[in-house]
Structure 1
């Protein structure tokens, strides 16, 4: 897609600090990292959200994400990683990308980046679960 920054990075026509690449994905440093070494992994093909990624590409894509999670941890001597995907909301570039953020104990990052809530009852929780389960293809 001509006007997509991540497509341009994947094709090499836009600059980025590329960490690794494969035939199907590219990993590069986030320009506004949560912590230094925060990597974004994006598929080379233009898809906007995780649900747009073809099922046939899941294994290769997440295998690459897995590799990057290990590399970030080992390469930066991090205690672990935080791996996350935003779909539409909080997705600053409309191209699927997975955040791989290095973590260390006591780094100050606590919980999630959004407010938490509770279900009013077990019945309400079960109703939400049923709504989601109902649309999952069998």
Structure 2
């Protein structure tokens, strides 16, 4: 497999490792958006979070929690972000969680600032969406 994160996990490509468990790895992002920008990955390859085993999922988010606490040495706040599929902005098709220390002066804004074309939904459309997601009619 030609996955850069799998190569980092198996040691083929070096990375600035910050924390590691049997199932997860946290390392500094090679192209940081802020000082301390960290990626947390499962060592097993999964493209999307819904493909992950329960054990890998639990370990990944335990590692996210540990690293979020460690990043408080840089900033009291951090953005926790997952792009889950190509259309969501995922550039590497391997599950990864971004932990990005935030400061009021960083100019990034809230997640809602990313979307300039928001839908205007009526109650019938909202009900239809709810039914599609839950599988009810």
CA distance in 1, matches of 2:6, 2:50: 18
What RMSD in Å do the two structures reach over aligned CA positions?
1.6
Equivalent residues of 1:119, 1:125 under 8 A apart: no
Q: CA deviation at 1:42?
A: 0.5
Q: TM-score, normalised by structure 1?
A: 0.87
The superposition leaves residues 53-106 of structure 1 with CA deviations (integer Å, 9 ceiling, x where unpaired) of 112332221111111111112x21x02110011112211111110000101223
> Structure 1 residue 37: deviation in Å?
0.8
Q: Could you tell me which runs of 5 or more consecutive residues in structure 2 were left unpaired when the two chains were aligned.
A: none
Where has structure 1 moved over 6 Å in runs of 4 or more? none
The answer to whether the 8 A contact 2:29-2:39 is kept is yes
Structure 1 residue aligned with 2:56: 57
- Indicate whether 1:42 and 2:60 are aligned: no
- 1:134 matched to which residue of 2? 135
- Structure 1 residues not aligned, in runs of 5+: none
- Pairs aligned (count): 132
Is the helix fraction higher in 1 or 2? 2
* Secondary structure of residue in 1 paired with 2:129: helix
